[in-house]
Structure 1
Amino acid sequence: MVLNLETVVIAPTTRNEGHGKFILEVDEGGVVKKGSFLSMVTVRGFEKFLVGREMEFAPVATSRFCGLCPPTHATASSEAIERSIGVTPPHHGLLLRELCNIGNHLHDHPLQQVLILPDFVKDPGKAREALVRIQRMRRIGQYICSVAGGEAIHSPYIRIGGMYTNISEAARNRLIELLTGYRQYHEEQKGFMEEAFDSSDVPEGLGAVDVDVMATDLIYGSSEVYANEYHPHYSEELPANYYGKDVGVEACTVIPMLRGRIVEVGPRARLWKFRGYKEKGTMALNRARLEEITVRVERGLEILRQLNTRANTLNRPVSYGDGDMGIGVNEAPRGTNVHLASVKDGRITYYKAMPATMWNIPVIGKATEGFHYRWAEWVMRAYDPCISCATHLLVINEGKVVEDRWVRPEVPYGQA
């Protein structure tokens, strides 16, 4: 049987961060036979302009990848440099870092509910009530970042060696009070969203895809796990090779792989690995994000009860690096965020970022296959892609090849 395939293009995609594009090959009934999801965001060249700069500049610069999840980039960047130069933050500094990142998750995960509300909630009154709850939750999440990280958005207290300063006892008590209130808002909102999911007409199995998952931790992330368990199996392809030249020439991200296969990262992957969550597909991913909020609220309260507000939170570097490769990993709201850095004499000699959405972009395209193209954006929004973070590739300029890629050949961990 030979199918007469047509191409459906959705560009730009809607209700997501950045500029995405679907190129979908569909049959006569509109069912997707081959799905490609591309980043169309202009490359900004962060990795290039970091080379040669002082190491302290990296967390500041990389937190500007975008405004949705700056703490994860500052954290992964700091850890990459710490592992390159050999400094370990104090225990309570790490607790504060984790708390700051939890605040970001508690702000960012509810924001995804804003983006999917029109898909699942048709009653304007109920949608308005949900938005009020969501905004209250997001406000608390941002406040946690401002207290623990020094600012609601870019969190300047995240430093190489730990956190710039501890919080006060009064601030700790206030955050406990706010997180307790957040839990109440979330329980109501979670029940509302689960009811909306149950009553939706989403096709059974939408977005279920047979790919491996990657996660290093349930909440914060583990550089050690990624370096030992995943990085030795890392490879990547240029998009023109992965998608085909007719499609891939437009894309602005490399295609990351483990053992030659694309992998899913994010809420479902974390719960799959650390909680035995075996559901697949779009709705499983939406529900996993709700469960992650619950987990993070409880962990945030646990950290606040453990935190010694008089303890040191920052260890100053005693070495300025001899060029060793450092790998820093943080579990961002959207999945595993990886930064690699080499530092010599206090200056960056190599830098690379592999944000969460970079891993998920090829998975999103594949997850549309087998269903009508009208569901493609529903699939995409379940992954909540942050496309600007994922864009780290430049190949052509005015039709001429500038260079094959902005990464050097694979370097074994621990070597320059």
Structure 2
Amino acid sequence: MAERVVIAPTTRNEGHGKFVLEVDDEGIVTKGHFLSLVLVRGFEKFLVGRAMEFAPVATSRFCGLCPPTHATASAEAIEDSIGVTPPRQGLLLRELCNLGNHLHDHPLQQILILPDFVPDAEMQKDAIIRIQKMRKIGQQICEVTGGEAIHSPHIRIGGMAKNISEAARRKLLEKVREYRSIWEEQRQFMEGAFDAARVPEGLGAHDMPLMATDLIYGRSDVFRREYYPDYSEVLPVPYYGEDIGVEACTIIPMIKGGPVEVGPRARLWKFRGYNAKGTMALNRARLIEITIRLDRAEEILEKLDTRARTINQPVTKGSGRLGIGVNEAPRGTNVHMAKVEDGRISFYKAMPATMWSIPAIGKATEGFHHRWAQWVMRSYDPCISCATHFIIVHDGRVVDRYSDSRGGPV
């Protein structure tokens, strides 16, 4: 007889999540649901009617872990809507800021999973010291390039507000090389911990499609061409069912009528031929990505022209064209959409990486004992607050109208 196991709130992840798992007599998950319990904040609603310049500033406040990705996707959605392209050096500097965020954020996931893989307290302590040193350097990159370590005010519509100095470029190059020396020790430590882990073979493996637009930075044109024509979304109650869906606070985004996995494994699969599946493959993919991002940061810093212009001022105010901005956040594909008319936002929508991952996490628990559910969840490193932006309230009357990503009424 099927039973239901509920885990709420989930632990060692950002925000408040909930598992509702249907299990058989042996505790094996036959149907897995993962949902957000985070209170809705309504960013997209209060952006409508505001000046277009406000969008990157506001959306970078979605979260304190990955603000540059939201500011970048937001700025690029506005740029796409009004038809402005940043100069080459501005785009490189914007990418470098996001690389700093990846180098800060990816190691944080290792702190969250350490108790799962490293039972020795002293070994955990040594690893955390290394991780925090790396994260500090990542934040320094964001601070120098983005103007602040957290919300990156230099990310503007049209590029980056200012270039960095030649002295700053040389200093950041030293910091990236310092990071690499710390990372080599930490990478070997984590690989050893993964090798020694007694995890069920195939944990978290699934046959859901993978979605990515770029190996590192993100490509709005790839999303528009390859994924957007097949995009659809479902409200929580139809997806989860009445008894579960009334608590959920995220849209269920789909490609070709089903959920997809985004993030490190998806990027490496599409652009590097990485074919491993499951929880451990996702954890290991994140290690590979840190090295890739170090290489790219060093490449940018070696060729960055610190005397070049980094911003192009908009020359139009927009005519309501749907703009799409996509950035590959640490956790996966982050999509922002905007329409700008006469310099003001007439429509706004965000589909952060964890919004895509939430249904995938639930499905990835199926076929394994429920005690492994949070191991699966933590491999995705969900940032649940980023994903939570809407609410549906009904008591027999229409209290609001909801618009889908194409701007039409539902």
Task: Tell me the TM-score normalized by structure 1.
Answer: 0.96
12, 16, 32: which one aligns with 2:13: 16
Q: Which amino acid aligns with 2:402?
A: W
Q: Which amino acid aligns with 2:257?
A: G
Structure 1 residue 56 corresponds to structure 2 residue 53: yes
- 1:127-206 mapped onto 2 (5 Å cutoff): 127-206=124-203
Contact 1:226–1:329, Cα closer than 8 Å, also in 2? yes
- 1:297-308 mapped onto 2 (5 Å cutoff): 297-308=294-305
Structure 1 residue 310 corresponds to structure 2 residue 326: no
Following the alignment from structure 1 to structure 2, what is the Cα–Cα distance between the partners of residues 172 and 373? 49
Shift of 1:244: 1.1
Q: Which amino acid aligns with 2:92?
A: L
Following the alignment from structure 1 to structure 2, what is the Cα–Cα distance between the partners of residues 373 and 37? 12
Q: Which amino acid aligns with 1:370?
A: G
Contact 2:347–2:407, Cα closer than 8 Å, also in 1? no
Contact 1:331–1:337, Cα closer than 8 Å, also in 2? yes
Identity of aligned residues (%): 71
Indicate the residue corresponding to 1:330 in structure 2.
327
Structure 1 residue 215 corresponds to structure 2 residue 212: yes
Structure 2 gaps, min length 5: none
Indicate the residue corresponding to 1:406 in structure 2.
402
210, 215, 227: which one aligns with 1:230: 227
Q: Which amino acid aligns with 1:407?
A: S
Structure 1 residue 245 corresponds to structure 2 residue 246: no
Indicate the residue corresponding to 1:265 in structure 2.
262
Structure 1 gaps, min length 5: none
22, 44, 49: which one aligns with 1:47: 44
Indicate the residue corresponding to 2:376 in structure 1.
379
Distance 1:30 1:154, change over 3 A: same
Contact 2:99–2:293, Cα closer than 8 Å, also in 1? yes
Secondary structure in structure 2 of the residue aligned to 1:216: coil
Query: How much is the aligned-residue C-alpha RMSD, in angstroms?
Result: 1.2
271, 286, 298: which one aligns with 1:289: 286
Secondary structure in structure 2 of the residue aligned to 1:316: coil
Contact 2:336–2:351, Cα closer than 8 Å, also in 1? yes
Following the alignment from structure 1 to structure 2, what is the Cα–Cα distance between the partners of residues 98 and 8? 43
85, 88, 97: which one aligns with 2:85: 88
Task: Tell me the TM-score normalized by structure 2.
Answer: 0.98
Structure 1 residue 124 corresponds to structure 2 residue 118: no
34, 38, 55: which one aligns with 2:35: 38
Contact 1:338–1:355, Cα closer than 8 Å, also in 2? yes
Secondary structure in structure 2 of the residue aligned to 1:395: coil
Secondary structure in structure 1 of the residue aligned to 2:105: helix
Secondary structure in structure 2 of the residue aligned to 1:298: helix
Contact 1:234–1:256, Cα closer than 8 Å, also in 2? yes
Structure 1 residue 111 corresponds to structure 2 residue 131: no
Structure 1 residue 343 corresponds to structure 2 residue 340: yes
- 1:390-401 mapped onto 2 (5 Å cutoff): 390-396=387-393
Shift of 1:116: 0.2
Indicate the residue corresponding to 2:360 in structure 1.
363
Distance 1:20 1:401, change over 3 A: farther
Following the alignment from structure 2 to structure 1, what is the Cα–Cα distance between the partners of residues 51 and 282? 39
Shift of 1:405: 6.3
Structure 1 residue 27 corresponds to structure 2 residue 24: yes
Q: Which amino acid aligns with 1:192?
A: F
Contact 2:349–2:405, Cα closer than 8 Å, also in 1? no
Shift of 1:142: 0.2
